[in-house]
Amino acid sequence: MADTRGIILIVDDEPATIEMLSEYLGGKRLGVARAQSLDEALAELDRARPDAVLISLRLGGADGLEALQRIREVNVEVALLVMAEQEDEGRAKEALTLGAMEYLLKPIDFDCLNRAIEKALSAAAPMIDYAETPDAPAAASTPFGLLYTLALEVFRVTRPFSPEARASVGTGLEQAALAAMQRGVGGEKAEVIRALNQLRNMIRFAHDLGDMSAETAGRLDEHMARARRSVGLS
């Protein structure tokens, strides 16, 4: 796939949909990886290293929103594009709060798909590997680099949380950090500010509830302060 502009992982339990999208994306000089279940998607995420994931909210017996969260657990950076049936638009909007960049309603409008893919490719960055990734990505002093680093630190903090802590504040911390990073990619300053304010409040809640030590909260606050300054906040 060296001569392609990027790689898109299509996740849908309908083979006909995968074939249709594969043919269209192939004509756009894009490499395609395919999966019909969450397990296959996670395997392809590691094998193909896609720039974006185009995933259906209906995956047989699996819940599409849970699938998004699972993908985020192993890769906080890959662009997520959601496909949904007309009656699932409400859940598709909910996917945006989990870090999805865009949602598309079926039947797919190819003009909308093309714009979403181009946006995803422009935001593509190297996949995170917690075992090998340094503390900060390249160009860490840029607004996106600082938001990336903040999100990475949040995930490092929340991974060891107990199930109770994750249910009360852990998921909220991760979602707010991802939202700030994803909106930063799209240059949506107002949304970045909103997500950072939410994240700051969640850090305080986690500390006050005893789920996060003062030292950890202080470290996140330092990353938060740098990210806030990068978008013009005090």
Q: Are residues 19 and 87 in the same domain?
A: yes
Q: At 79, which CATH number?
A: 3.40.50.2300
Give the residue, 135 or 111, on which the prediction is more confident: 111
What is the reported pLDDT for 129? 41
Instruction: State both tokens at 160.
Output: 């060891």
% helix, strand, coil for the chain, step of 5: 60, 10, 30
Is the pLDDT at 43 greater than 70? The verdict is: yes
Percentage of the chain beyond pLDDT 70 is 89
What is the reported pLDDT for 136? 40
Does a structural domain hold residue 135?
A: no
- Look over the chain and give the mean of its residue pLDDT values, rounded to a whole number: 84
Percentage of the chain beyond pLDDT 90 is 40
- Residue 28 to residue 114: CA distance in whole angstroms: 9
What is the reported pLDDT for 141? 58
Please state the rounded mean pLDDT for residues 32-47.
Answer: 93
Is the pLDDT at 221 greater than 60? The verdict is: yes
What is the reported pLDDT for 186? 62
Does a structural domain hold residue 75?
A: yes
Please state the rounded mean pLDDT for residues 179-196.
Answer: 78
What is the reported pLDDT for 18? 95
HSE at residue 177, side-chain half, CA atoms within 13 A, is 29
Q: Measure the CA dihedral 55/59/65/69, to 10°.
A: -70
Q: Are residues 31 and 112 in the same domain?
A: yes
What is the reported pLDDT for 139? 45
Q: Are residues 90 and 188 in the same domain?
A: no
Query: CB under 8 Å to 192, separation ≥6 — which residues?
Result: 147, 180, 183, 184, 231
- Residue 195 to residue 39: CA distance in whole angstroms: 30
**Does the global pTM surpass 0.85?**
no
Q: Are residues 17 and 103 in the same domain?
A: yes
Instruction: State both tokens at 199.
Output: 């994240």
| 65-70: long-range pairs with CB below 8 Å, 24+ | 65/91, 65/94, 65/95, 65/98, 67/11, 67/38, 67/41, 68/95, 68/98, 68/99, 68/100, 69/98, 69/171, 70/38, 70/42
pLDDT in tens, 74-94: 877 788 999 999 999 998 888
Please state the rounded mean pLDDT for residues 175-184.
Answer: 81
Q: Are residues 89 and 174 in the same domain?
A: no
Alpha-carbon Rg for the chain, nearest whole angstrom, is: 18
Other beta carbons within 10 angstroms of residue 38's beta carbon come to: 22
Give the residue, 140 or 167, on which the prediction is more confident: 167
Is the pLDDT at 234 greater than 70? The verdict is: no
pLDDT in tens, 101-124: 889 999 999 999 999 998 888 766
Q: Are residues 16 and 114 in the same domain?
A: yes
Q: Are residues 110 and 68 in the same domain?
A: yes
Asked whether 76 and 52 are in contact (CB, 8 A), the reply is: no
pLDDT in tens, 1-37: 457 789 999 999 999 999 999 999 999 999 999 999 9
Closest CA to 71 of 110, 49, 37, 45: 45
Is the pLDDT at 98 greater than 80? The verdict is: no
In the DSSP assignment, the letter for residue 129 is -
The domain of 114 spans 7-122
Please state the rounded mean pLDDT for residues 124-150.
Answer: 56
- Residue 150 to residue 19: CA distance in whole angstroms: 38
Predicted confidence band of residue 217 (pLDDT cuts 50, 70, 90):
very high
